Amino acid sequence: MIIPSLSAEWLSLLSLLWSLQMLVLIVWVVLQQRAPVSTLSWILSLLLMPVFGFVVYYYFGPQRLEKQRMRRLRGQASSQAMQDMARLRDVEQEAPQELLQLVTLGAATSGIPVSSADDVLLLSGGDRTYDAIFEAIRAARHHVHLEYYIYEPDKIGTALRDLLVGKAQAGVQVRLLVDALGSKRVGKKFLAPLVAAGADVAFFHESRIGRRWRPVTNFRTHRKIVVCDGRVGFTGGVNITDEEDPRTRDDAYHDVHLRIEGCAVRWLQTVFLEDWFYSTGQNAEVLGQAVEQLLPPLKPGNIPVQIVTSGPDSEHEAIHRMHVAAINIATQRAWLTTPYFVPSESALMALTNAALRGVDVRLMVPRMSDSRLVTAAARSYYDKLIEAGVKIWEYEARMLHSKTLLVDEHCAMLGTANFDNRSFRLNFEVMAVVFGPALAKPLAAQFHEDSTHATEVQLHRRLPFWPRLGVASARLLSPLL
């Protein structure tokens, strides 16, 4: 009689503890004041994890980070903003007035005004991207700054490291910032030659326990930035890995990158330096007189370019807003390429609205991404999009990794952000918005080329029961993906 009595008491105690834990978690989630769908999704997920719910939410739940902006650098970088706006107005004579409002939105949400470039070059494929980056690094005389989400110690990673070692030995200041989770295979042994040569290396959000009061495992720098002498910069989707080099692997990801030359590079520089000092804890004052070399005086170019950033340190979701706003002002076309398509309600509405009012809306996604869950979630949106008039292509040749948006003839976006909640709300991302035909024309040609390796998705595809159930179930997790 005693044992059953004790068992019942323990069950009652465990039930009470579980109830108290769930009450605390639900209050915690509700107080975050996030989107109702996201909040309810987290609550439902936590209810299904009675033991580990607290740990999961503690490590992976939403939170806000504080990352200080460097006023001195931003002030220096903004010195030519008025001249750059004047060049945008020249473009605007042939483009809609809404372009100026788009620029204002980008400046208000990310704190970066429109700038300009002497040249922008679309780089298709990892091989062309790596060749261009290596060439720029070889030509650098003062500094080389690199920030990557994924840096692998493989063939291309080793080649880049050895090049950086040579530059550091030649007296060029080399700073390498990599994400601690995305570049987890990069260890001290691999980096030792670089450090010995005098280069500085840092990790973004080290995941070691005890580094922070609350872990930041879920918040990564997804940015890919290279800056050489403050004059030439790169950004886009290509990481440092053999998986993106067709010279090494036949199944290498298909991706695009952007080379920028001119004033707009100062903003890539500013973004990198803010991430660098945030990650290292160094005082920005150590730059001293080097600011003049990090942000060299350059004449405004003829191509208006705006660098836009977003991350969990801001509630504005700048890149998310820019995508939605650009699609909303489209009058001729809105062509989107993304490896991970899990749209927010506002983004989905923008795409369907544009198609319903006669805009040529196209979506290019991989036939099968490297995440089956995300692929399934993406397909749950297909019928609604196609019914509204959106044309969807699934790229079949290889894994598609490009992240671009082309709107009409005068607005092209290329960056690191996927079209999903993680990129829009959790990751630190960066994007270049180029106004005018300089990027729009080659990006349109690239989209046409990619479509020759893709199959158009048809409406009301017949799927067996279990795949249909999997797709529908994956959609329920969309707010968490």
The Cβ of residue 75 has, within 10 Å, a number of other Cβ atoms equal to: 9
Q: Which two tokens stand for residue 146?
A: 């690199």
The Cβ of residue 366 has, within 10 Å, a number of other Cβ atoms equal to: 27
Active site residue 224: yes
* Integer Cα distance of 438 and 96 in angstroms: 17
List, in order, residues 6 or more apart from 359 with CB less than 8 Å away: 330, 331, 332, 333, 334
One of 401, 410, 420, 450 is an active-site residue; which one?
Answer: 401
Burial of 15 (0-12, 13-18, 19+ CB in 10 A): exposed
Q: Are 405 and 334 in contact (CB under 8 A)?
A: yes
One of 143, 145, 205, 222 is an active-site residue; which one?
Answer: 222
> Which residues, listed in sequence order, are joined to residue 307 by a DSSP beta bridge?
432
One of 84, 255, 275, 408 is an active-site residue; which one?
Answer: 408
| φ, ψ dihedrals at 123, nearest 5° | -110, 115
One of 84, 143, 167, 229 is an active-site residue; which one?
Answer: 229
Q: Are 400 and 327 in contact (CB under 8 A)?
A: no
> Could you give the angle at the alpha carbon of 391 between the alpha carbons of 389 and 397, nearest 5°?
170
Active site residue 403: yes
Q: How far is CA 351 from the centre of its chain?
A: 20
| φ, ψ dihedrals at 50, nearest 5° | -65, -25
The Cβ of residue 314 has, within 10 Å, a number of other Cβ atoms equal to: 17
One of 205, 257, 403, 410 is an active-site residue; which one?
Answer: 403
List, in order, residues 6 or more apart from 391 with CB less than 8 Å away: 360, 361, 362, 363, 456
* Integer Cα distance of 356 and 38 in angstroms: 27
Active site residue 408: yes
Q: Are 418 and 403 in contact (CB under 8 A)?
A: yes
* Integer Cα distance of 39 and 62 in angstroms: 10
One of 205, 224, 257, 320 is an active-site residue; which one?
Answer: 224
- Catalytically active residues, by annotation: 222, 224, 229, 401, 403, 408
